[in-house]
């Protein structure tokens, strides 16, 4: 029982160390790109973040300051057509 717990703890520790090293390596490569082209790297990171965020969304709402109510703009489901409300 104790040997199993120790083995699991060692495996968990190794996983955490490997993940941290991978994240540090990724950060260093992004930093290198950022030093060479800050605007491009900043834009790429933003687009990657938005792509990840929008991929999980079911609906997209676009709101401007003059808009009085929320109106669905685009269905994010593949092949779905936007519905027309208040029509026939």
Is there a domain that residue 77 lies in?
Answer: no
Q: Is the pTM of this model over 0.85?
A: no
User: What mean pLDDT do residues 3-20 have?
Assistant: 95
pLDDT at 64: 74
Query: What count of Cα atoms within 13 Å lies in the side-chain half-sphere of residue 68?
Result: 0
Is there a domain that residue 86 lies in?
Answer: no
Is there a domain that residue 75 lies in?
Answer: no
- When divided into structural domains, the chain yields a total of 1
Q: Is pLDDT of 87 > 60?
A: no
**Which has the closest alpha carbon to 75: 54, 87, 63, 60?**
60
What is the longest distance spanned by two Cα atoms in the chain?
71
DSSP-derived 3-state class of residue 59? strand
Is there a domain that residue 48 lies in?
Answer: yes
Q: For 20-74, write each residue's pLDDT tens digit.
A: 999 999 999 999 999 999 999 999 999 999 898 888 877 776 677 777 666 655 5
Is there a domain that residue 68 lies in?
Answer: no
pLDDT at 53: 85
Whole-angstrom distance, CA of residue 21 vs CA of residue 25: 6
For residue 47, the enclosing domain spans 2-57
């Amino acid at each position: 029982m104790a040997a199993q717990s120790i083995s699991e703890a060692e495996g968990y520790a190794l996983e955490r160390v490997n993940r941290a090293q991978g994240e540090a390596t990724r950060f260093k490569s992004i930093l290198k790109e950022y030093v060479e082209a800050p605007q491009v790297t900043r834009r790429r990171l933003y687009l990657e973040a938005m792509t990840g965020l929008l991929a999980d969304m079911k609906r997209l709402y676009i709101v401007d300051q003059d808009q009085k109510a929320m109106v669905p703009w685009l269905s994010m489901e593949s092949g779905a057509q936007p519905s027309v409300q208040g029509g026939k």
